[in-house]
Amino acid sequence: MSGLQLQQLSRRCGDRLVLEHLDLAVAPGECLALLGPSGCGKTTTLRLVAGLDPCSGGRILLNGEDITARPAGEREVAMVFQSYALFPHLDVGENLALGLRSRGIPRAERDRRIASVLELLQLTALVRRRPAQLSGGQRQRVALARALLRQPRIVLLDEPMSNLDARLREELRPELRRLLCGGEPPVLYVTHDQQEAMGMADRIAVLQAGRLEQVGGVRELYTDPASRFVADFLGRPAINWLPGRDGTALGLRPEHLRPRPEGGLQARPERREWWGHQQLLWLETPRGTLRMLLPEGAEAGAEGLRVGWRAADELWFDAAGQRLSAEGPWRQGLESGAV
């Protein structure tokens, strides 16, 4: 088996289970995003793989080899920290050299590798600057350069872009993908930002409270969520929830609601957000407030309208949050909305 396998990985902190029997596999060159709210165990998973924290149970396999007990320094892991973890007393060149030096790589080889990675990331002009003299984006590139120098067997990224502004993040995403993904090492990418996960990753693993909720392709998770949590966590603006029978719930994405000449639910627009290419309407209906995304040109009268949706777009969940099929007694009372 090549790539990275996590088998029944667990981590306990005192009495608290931070991570519970996690099973995950990342293929060589694949970028897997660990997505979830804070405290869900995604950073813990990363630290276990890096060897920075000990596992309480389970195994970590790299290319079929058990590395669970191996110390961090021998795992050949490249990690980009959320804080970038640049050494403040050293300039960019020395920051890059320190790791290579502590691994005993000869000077000529060191200089050659540093020069080429500086070139690649357009940092050559900044080589004598200290971290304090760099902008956020430049610091991020130095952290990336340090990770690239390693020739690692695993690449780990811990919220590498959360300290950058939205625009810069968008610009850096393809660059990060180009530089880190698609090579030999598997890539684990921790983020709480679904947009970043969708933009970066081949597959996404959604974690909640130390447990794996669902793992799958980006599109699969969005259109076919296994649990209410995943449906709720993915998608902006957030999914609408309508109560069904016996504690069931119907999820409807805002973009799946449509104005209808008849049928559906009677709705009154309460609030309107204009987003340029779209507008978001907050609708008051007999079933509660609904969010509806409309294309820019579409008009909804101020006095009221009727909204409906396609039956194929319905996402049903039971009281425990597990996915239900689209056909069943729970649809009773709401089928009128589907057109």
Partner 1 sequence: MIPLLAVDLLLMLPALLLLGVVFLLPLLRDAWLSLHASTVVTGLMAVPNGAANWWRLFDDARFRQDAFQTVRFTGVSVALELVLGLGLALLLHRPGRGRALLRALVLLPWALPTTVMALGWRWILNDPHGPLNGLLQAVGLPTFGFLTTPSTTWLAVVVADVWKTTPFVALLLLAGLQSIPVDLVEALQLEGAGRLTILRRLTLPLLAPWIALALLFRIAQSLGVFDLIQVLTGGGPAGSTESLAMYAYRQSLRFLDFGYGATVLMATFLLLLLPGVIWLLLQNRLPRRTA
- Applying CB under 8 A, which residues contact partner 1? 50-52, 72-75, 77-79, 81, 83, 85, 87-89, 98-100, 102-103, 130, 132, 146, 150
Smallest gap from Cβ 19 to partner 1, in A, equals 18
Cβ distance to partner 1 smaller for residue 52 or 280: 52
Q: What are 5's two structure tokens? A: 């396998």
Smallest gap from Cβ 104 to partner 1, in A, equals 9
Which element (helix H / strand E) includes 150?
none
Q: How many residues does the chain have?
A: 339
Cβ distance to partner 1 smaller for residue 50 or 294: 50
* Residue 7 and residue 59 in contact, taking contact as beta carbons nearer than 8 Å: yes
Within a 13 Å sphere around the CA of 228, how many CA atoms are in the beta-carbon half? 17
Smallest gap from Cβ 71 to partner 1, in A, equals 8
Q: What are 188's two structure tokens? A: 């684990």
Smallest gap from Cβ 72 to partner 1, in A, equals 5
Which residue bears the tokens 């980009």? 80
Distance from C-alpha of 211 to C-alpha of 37, rounded to nearest angstrom: 12
Cβ distance to partner 1 smaller for residue 100 or 161: 100
Smallest gap from Cβ 127 to partner 1, in A, equals 16
Cβ distance to partner 1 smaller for residue 38 or 325: 38
For 157-212, the three-class secondary structure string (H helix, E strand, C coil) is: EECCCCCCCHHHHHHHHHHHHHHHCCCCCCEEEEECCHHHHHHHCCEEEEEECCEE
Smallest gap from Cβ 68 to partner 1, in A, equals 16
Cβ distance to partner 1 smaller for residue 38 or 102: 102
How open is the CA angle 241-225-285, to the nearest 5 degrees?
A: 15
Cβ distance to partner 1 smaller for residue 35 or 149: 149
Give the number of other Cβ atoms within 10 Å of residue 205's Cβ: 24
* Residue 40 and residue 17 in contact, taking contact as beta carbons nearer than 8 Å: no
